[in-house]
Amino acid sequence: MSLVEREVDVHHGWESSAAHSLKNLPQPRPRVAPIPLVKLCYTMVHAAEAVGIRDLADGEYRPSDTTLEQGIERQLNYLLDEVGCTRPGFRLLEIGCGYGHLLRLAQARGAEVVGVNLSPEQVQYCNEHGSRVYCCNYRDLLDAHEWHGQFDGVIANGSLEHWVQPEDVIAGRMNGLYQESFEIVRRLLDPHVEEARYVTTAIHVKRNVRPKDLLTPWREHPRGSDQRHFSLLHNWMGGYYPIDGQLEQCARPSFTLEAEADGTLGYKIANDYRMARMLRGLYTNPQLVWRLARSLVRHPRIARTMLECYYLEQSWDWQFRGDDPPMKLLRHTWRRAANG
Ligand SMILES: C[S@@+](CC[C@H](N)C(=O)[O-])C[C@H]1O[C@@H](n2cnc3c(N)ncnc32)[C@H](O)[C@@H]1O
């Protein structure tokens, strides 16, 4: 095949990226209201932004690292490599983009980026720092036809833990929600881009957990028990975790699992950095104290739960501590199936 024929005949992702622009995507029409507890949790978490905590997922650390951000950037660059965002013009969507660190790294690689996020505080931060982010529930994208087929890759870094609630598990909707999320991503990816990928990171639970325990007030569970930590976490953040293999089962037939990496230790180290900064901030950062106090006045019940969960019982950090932590963090690279 001559060079000219190759240029004309072979369809690569970047040809379609030149033809489209992500700049004109309309705000998705509301289809499913965001879960109030999840939305409120990120209003509370915004207090941590006062001490510069704008990275809310796991990291990947080397012994020589000395900051939270070093491990975070290594992990984010891994995700970008995995999704194939290695060339200018790559069209990337992040679902649940937090404060937009991954989007900005992708832009530095020359990518066109879009984020969706249900936290108004985070969306405002992203849009003020040069990324295009829409405030909506990712579930609104199922019917957002103008969005369909527009992306070369999609990443969900630490957001899918919020997509299922214990009430969904009790009602038998858990797998259906994961299946719907894969269907949404399948629609978002450009069908002409052969190498389109979806990359997720998600906490997985290793121990037996009953949805009923999460809905029981934590004070009714024995101190230090799994049930008490699970209930505290749910009542602050709203969510439920998959077990090993569950996502793979729900991905079929649209996606196959191409790679899996364990990031449990990296999550623990990132959490240690965050806890140290949050503790120091209580004594040294009036803005942090002011934001926490304001949350206590505006949302007393949830704010008390957050303080109890994070600082006192340290349920967030409990998840990754010890020789055999109750959770593991898995990074998954999904490849769209040939018939997907
Ligand atoms: C743990 S944070 C991770 C944020 C970011 N990816 C990072 O690494 O810092 C989870 C993010 O998912 C977002 N999120 C959770 N559920 C969502 C939903 N249903 N639709 C859109 N965004 C969601 C939250 O607002 C938050 O930004």
Ligand 1 near 42 CB (within 6 A): yes
Domains and CATH numbers, the chain: 11-336 (3.40.50.150)
214 with 231: CB under 8 angstroms?
Answer: yes
Ligand 1 near 98 CB (within 6 A): yes
| 130 backbone dihedrals φ, ψ, rounded to 5° | 90, 10
What secondary structure letter does DSSP report for 198? Answer: E
Nearest to 115 by CA among 132, 137, 136, 90: 132
Q: How far apart are CA 290 and CA 30, in angstroms?
A: 33
Q: Which residues of 75-108 are buried (b: 16+ CB within 10 A; e: fewer)?
A: bbbbbbebbbbeeeebbbbbbbbbbbbbbbbbbe
Centre of ligand 1 from the C-alpha of residue 8, in Å = 40
Q: Dihedral of CA 284/285/286/291: which sign? A: negative
Q: Scan for tokens 């998954």, then name that residue.
A: 332
Task: Determine the atom of ligand 1 nearest the C-alpha atom of 34.
Answer: 19
Per-residue pLDDT of the chain (340 residues; tens, 9 = 90+): 333 333 323 333 333 444 457 989 999 999 999 999 999 999 999 999 999 999 999 999 999 999 999 999 999 999 999 999 999 999 999 999 999 999 999 999 999 999 999 999 999 999 999 999 999 999 999 999 999 999 999 999 999 999 999 999 999 999 999 999 999 999 999 999 999 999 999 999 999 899 999 999 999 999 999 999 999 999 999 999 999 999 999 999 999 999 999 999 999 999 999 999 999 999 999 999 999 999 999 999 999 999 999 999 999 999 999 999 999 999 999 999 987 6
Using DSSP bridges, classify how beta strands 327-336 and 197-205 pair: parallel, antiparallel or unpaired: antiparallel
